[in-house]
Structures are given as structure tokens and as C-alpha cells.
Structure 1
Amino acid sequence: MEIGELLKKYRLMHAETKKAWAGSVLSPSFYARVEKGTNRISANDLINLLHANNISVIDFFRQLNPHDHLIDSEDQALRLAANKAYYNGARTDLLNLYNQIAKGDSPNKEEHLMLLEIYIAIIDDDYASIDDSTLKKAKERIFATSIFDADTLKLYCNCISFYDLDENLIISKRAVTQFKSNNSITMQKNILAIIINILIFCIKAKRYEETDFYINSAEEIATTPEIYFYKTILLFFKNLLQYHQKSEKQYLDQCYDIIQNIALSGMTKYSSSLKVFLEENK
């Protein structure tokens, strides 16, 4: 069965109009053409559509023609579903997806379960709940990566605290080198988030000499409205590092100015955490 046919089958089972079924995910006219098979739907939009209508991603893909050319694969769809649930903080969705995958025979079942277990632990702020073998597999997979894809990069972003500093320096330099020239805003945010975390680790360990590569790489990424916040935080760390190198009060003052500006923007909790970090590491 093709994607459009299966979507229509589910829609009719729920007695919904095409407009109601498409919701805010797709325009009704575009969705109508998807059902007819004349428009192709992206994997991401398909996942969003299934979630919006409370349809199991796994059950849906099991009913499709395995050679359907309109999607990359069930494997990719499961990754998208897991990532979407994680970034929305939807713990219940992650648990449901975990249970569905555990009962099924999806491609890369073990890897999907590993990722979901880590995501759930991060949301719960309970890293101790991660099985040792699961954590070891995740760390080994990332550490062995020479060329990152989007999923491996996201996995590393979420597992960065599991590595020691020297391991993080090796892995992060590969990722930053590969993606610092990428024009995707999502990729740029991921890379800047990695750089910020590495700067935090280096400053805490007083390994200031390791930070030049990361500061220079971040500056190669053009500042846009979408990544302005990340660049502001990087400026804070750059000034703190300058203060350690030159012991000039102006750099410390600029750190406090940045903290105040972040607080004025409404991010009081984050500004407070930056202030604590500054007081402990100046």
C-alpha cells in the first residue's frame, strides 16, 4: 500500500475531512494531492501528521509497501519520531515508542532502543538509570565516528557529558570541523552548542590553551537572528578567557554586562547560572 492510500484509510476510519486531517501540518489542497499520490510528503511532515492524528508511527510503516519510494525508510522515520518527542520533552511519547519498538522487529532495533533509553534518562535528569552496556555502546558509536550525520551529531550533543574532557576534545573537533561551514541553521545551532559546552569543560579544568580552535571556529559562523543567542553566550566565554589571559578588568565587566542583558531579556534563570559560573571560574 502507498502512503497516500494508507493515510486515506486511516482518515476514513476516523471519519475526518481532509482539512481536519491535514490540520496545521499541511495545507488541505496539498494533503489532498498526497492522498491521490500526485504530491510527495516529506518524512518529517509525515511524522508530524501521524502524531497530530494519534497514529502509531510503527504501525503505520508496517502497513506500507516496503519498496515505497516516497520515504527514506522506516528506520529514518523512527529516528525522526524519537528526536521530535525528545525535543518536545514528550516523555510519554518516548515511552510509547520504546515499548512499540521493543515488541517489533524494526531495522536497527537495538540502536533505536539505546537512543530512546538515553533520551528518557536525560528528560528525567537521571543518568544513573542508563544501563552500563547501553551507555558504552552509545559512547563507542560516537567515538568511532569519523564522518557525522545529523543523527550522530544530535546523539553526541545529548551524550557530551558522558565523556571526559580529552575524549570530548577529540570527538568535538571532528564534528566542528565537518559542520562549521554548513549553512543549515539547525546544524549551526548544534555546533555552537557543542562549542559552548567544550568551552565550559575547558574553563572548569583550566585548560585555556585548548579553547582557541573553538573560539575561532565559532567566529567563522556568520551571526544571524536565529543564532544570536548562541553568539551572545560565546561572547561571554570569549571575554572570560581574555580576562584569564590578560587579567584586565574590562573583560570581566563585559561578562557582567552580558549576564545583565540576558536577565533583562527575561532569561533570569540562565543569567543566574552564568553569574554563578563566572564567580566560580574568574
Structure 2
Amino acid sequence: MKIGDLLKKYRLSRGKTKKDWAKNVLSPSFYARVENGINRISAEDLINLLYANGIPVIEFFGRLNPKDKLANEENYQFLFAINEAYYQNSKVDLLKIRDTVCKSNLSDKREKLMIIDVYLAIVNDEYDSINQKTLQELKDRIFMANEFDLDTMNLYCNCMVFYDLDTNLMISRKLIKQYQGNKNSLIEKNLLGIIINIINFCIKEKRYEEAIPFVECANQIIPKPEIYFYKSVILFFTNIIKYKRNNSKNYLEVCNNIIDNISKVGMNKFSQELKIFLQDNI
């Protein structure tokens, strides 16, 4: 089953018109041509369309090609399935994807296995288990990129912990220069994720002034529901920096309110991590 056919099947099962289904991701006319197999939807637009309509990425690609989740439309499937599993902190799903890749005939099987193994190490908090040659190869691939596509952008965001702060600052500035002003929601999410990591690292190393341009970049991204969480975390870090500058407890109150709000929506583990971070860095 092709992407357009499966999108149509989902749409009809939910009783939606093409206009309703296209949301604000695609024009209704373009989406209609995707369903008919005339136009090819980009990776960024497909993931945004799936999220907008509440379709789990792994489920979608599993139905697209049940026999081998990564053999057909392999680049789409790997990019989205691996990141879905990683962000859900799901070792089980990562291992399933790894097994699928091992049994496939993908031309870039070795590279895909390398990425999965690094993600598994991060999820398991077993950084020492990563083969150093593999890790260096992965770091070089990101560092030497002339331009960042969505795949490399995701990879970098997830692997920033392996670089020193100065290298991260250099790579992040280059990436922001490429994507600043881009209105694609998926790009904005990745950009904000990278900015959050950079500000985090700067605070830990007490290099507060170097974080400010990244805060300003994040503030230029227009708030919207799908990036509310990212904006909240950046506001949390920003208020830590403000507190370190003038020692006003009002900024700590804002930080604690953000921690409480994140806890109230059910993200208890993450709220505890922010609480510990605040205690360690004030």
C-alpha cells in the first residue's frame, strides 16, 4: 500500500473531508494529489500531517508495509520510527527496529544500525558501551555536514551530549543560521530542542552570556500549542540565567511554577529532573 492510499484509508475511516484532513499542513488541492499518487509528500509534511491527525508514526508505517517496516519508503520509516521510539524512551521499540534493520536488505544498513546502537546506549544510560570508533564516525558525520537536512538535525539534537560545549556552540550556530525563520513545525521543534540543550550546557558550565543569543532565537519562534512544552523549558532556563545575573527570587518562583505545571500534566519524571537541575545550578 502506498502512502497516499493509506492516508485516504485513515481519512475515510474517520469521516473527514480532504480539506479537514489536510489541516494547515497542506493545501487541500495538493493533499488531493498526494492521495491520488500524483504529488509526493515531503518527509516534514508527512510527519506533521500524521501528528495533526493523531496517527502514531510507527503504526502508520507498520500498516504501510506490514512485512518489513523499513523495506519500503525506507528513509521515511527509519527517520520517524527511530525518533518516535527514542523520544518515548522505548528500548523495546528500538530493539524491534534494530531487528528489522538486521533482517533487511537496506543499502545503508550499517549506518542505520550505528545510529540505533547509539540511541540504545543513551536510553539505557550506558554511554561507555558505545564503540568509540562508531561514535567518532557519527560525530564526524554531523560535524562535517555542509547543510543539515531533517535527518541530520534530529541526529545532532539527540547526540549533543557527546560533544564539548565549544563544538556544540559552533554546530548550533551554523544550524540556526540555516533554519532561523523556518515556519515548519517539525523544524521549529527540533530547533527548540537543540536550543534547550545548548542553554542547559551553558548553565552547567556557568557560561551564561553565551546562552543569551540562543534564548533570543527561541523567543523569535511564534508560540503555538505544539511547541508549548519547548517554550516552557526555555522559559525555565531563561529565569535561571536571570537569577544568576541579579539574584532576585522572583525568577526562582517562575521556575518553580513551571516545574509544578509540568508535573500537573503528568510529566512527573521530567519535572523532578528540572527540580534537581534548579537545585544544582542556583
Deviations 1:155-209 (A, max 9, x none): 0111111111111111111222222311122221111111111111111101112
Deviation at 1:267, TM superposition (A): 3.1
Distance in 1 of aligned mates of 2:69 and 2:173: 35
C-alpha distance 208-87 of structure 1, shift in aligned 2 (>3 A): closer
Contact 1:172 1:194 in 2 (8 A): yes
Q: Is the 8 A contact 1:121 1:130 kept in 2?
A: yes
Confirm or deny: 8 A CA contact 1:57 1:81 kept in the other structure. no
Q: How does 1:190-209 map to 2 (within 5 A)?
A: 190-209=190-209
Matched, 1:54 2:69: no
Equivalent residue, structure 2, for 1:122: 122
Percent identity of the aligned residues?
A: 40
SS in 2 for 1:278: helix
Runs of at least 5 residues in structure 1 that lack an aligned partner in the other structure: 8-17, 31-36, 62-72
Equivalent residues, number:
249
Structure 2 partner of 1:143:
143
SS of the equivalent of 2:114 reads helix
Change (3 A) 1:133 1:243: same
Matched, 1:179 2:179: yes
Displacement of 1:124: 2.5
Contact 2:61–2:77 at 8 Å: present in 1 too?
no
RMSD value over aligned CA atoms? 3.3
Q: CA deviation at 1:84?
A: 4.1
Matches within 5 A, 1:198-237: 198-237=198-237
Report which of the two structures shows the higher radius of gyration computed on alpha carbons: 1
Offset from partner CA, 1:194-241 (integer Å, 9 cap, x none): 111111111110111211111110011011111122112211211111
Paired residues for 1:250-261 under 5 Å: 250-261=250-261
The residue aligned with 2:281 is 281
Structure 2 runs not aligned, ≥5 long: 19-34, 51-56
Residue 98 to residue 233, structure 1, CA distance change in 2 (3 Å)? closer
Distance in 1 separating the partners of 2:278 and 2:270: 12
Structure 1 stretch 222-231 or stretch 243-252: which is displaced more?
243-252
Q: CA deviation at 1:26?
A: 5.2
Deviates more, 1:152-161 or 1:125-134: 125-134
Deviations 1:86-127 (CA, angstroms, capped at 9, x unpaired)? 445554443344344345542223221211212222333322
**In 1, distance between residues paired with 2:105 and 2:260?**
52
Tell me how far apart the structure 2 counterparts of residues 131 and 253 of structure 1 sit (CA, whole Å). Answer: 43
Q: Distance in 1 between matches of 2:265 and 2:100?
A: 42
In the alignment, what sits opposite 1:159? 159
CA distance in 1, matches of 2:275, 2:58: 40
Letter in 1 for 2:232: T
